[in-house]
Structure 1
Amino acid sequence: MPRLDHINIDVSDGARMVRFFAEVLGAEDGFRPPFDFPGHWIYVDGHPAIHLNVAPRANDFPRGMVNHVAFGVYGFEPTKARIEAAGWPYRITDIPDSEVGQFFVEGPEGLLLEVQFRRERPARG
């Protein structure tokens, strides 16, 4: 069965993007093979889920075919505290008729990161 292995993002400031994923997801910069171009592999739960290619450019890429990237977390309050402590702009939304809530966090270089969390399913009247 296929599974999503990783996302690959072109960035101009690798260190800033690494810090963003560490602050929001608790992810870690880890081993990356010695490719002939600069970059980072960001590990989520021990897996290199985010690959960053560092390529200088003057402006942010506009959002295009990929609107945003989403990860799931456990624990609303710890996640909210981590995002607020880091100072990244965010908003919270809910998926109607579900127990899923969402943080949408605005990251560096125009990246929009969705962080999903579970909450009690609303009672139906």
Structure 2
Amino acid sequence: MKILGMNHFTVLSSNLERSKAFYINILGLSEGYRPPFTFPGAWLYTGDQAVLHIMAGKPIPPVAAGVIDHMAFTASGLQATVDRLKQCGVAYELKRLQGLEIWQLFCHDPDGAKVELDFPAHEPAPEQ
């Protein structure tokens, strides 16, 4: 077997519309085709790739299952992203990754899933 790439992440949501608003309106993913499952949810895309599945309609366990710390996306438009996060009241942490100098922006979705956005090193530091 050979791993060819990452397919998608799945997050649980306590409020599907709120989660979709975060990932679509703030992070810029788009909603696309999702098979007719018997439970509510959404598949969110970048281009023609479904990269994030949202599952709703079941309780979020009080203790998280597994050991995944966060999901990461390659992004562009650091200043616009910072501006949008501020406008929407989403807290974030911004770091410069030493050695590669890329920008790493960390925030959390409405249910607490940690999201990393990686921006190219050539993008200027955002105005605070």
2:97 corresponds to 1:98: no
TM-fit CA distance, 1:62: 3.9
Do residues 4 (structure 1) and 24 (structure 2) align? no
- Structure 2 equivalent of residue 52 of structure 1: 54
Q: Cα offset for 1:58?
A: 6.5
Residue 89 of structure 1 aligns with an amino acid whose one-letter code is A
Instruction: Find 2:68's aligned residue among 60, 66, 69.
Output: 66
Partner of 2:18: 16
Q: Tell me which residue corresponds to 1:123.
A: none
Q: Give the CA deviation at 1:111.
A: 0.9
Listed as ranges, the gaps of 5+ residues in structure 1 are 121-125
Aligned to 2:126: none
Aligned length: 121
| Kept after mapping to 2: 8 A contact 1:60/1:110 | no
Letter in 2 for 1:103: L
- TM-score relative to the length of structure 2: 0.82
Task: State how 1:82-121 maps to structure 2 within 5 Å.
Answer: 82-120=84-122
Structure 1 runs of 4+ off > 3 angstroms?
Answer: 58-64
Residue aligned with 2:86, SS: helix
Q: Distance in 1 between matches of 2:119 and 2:105?
A: 8
For structure 2, which runs of at least 5 residues remain unmatched after alignment?
123-128
Matches of 1:98 and 1:15, distance apart in 2: 36
* Corresponding position of 1:42: 44
Give the whole-Å Cα distance in 2 for the aligned partners of 1:60 and 1:101: 32
- Compute the TM-score of the two structures, normalised by the length of structure 1: 0.83
More helix by share: 1
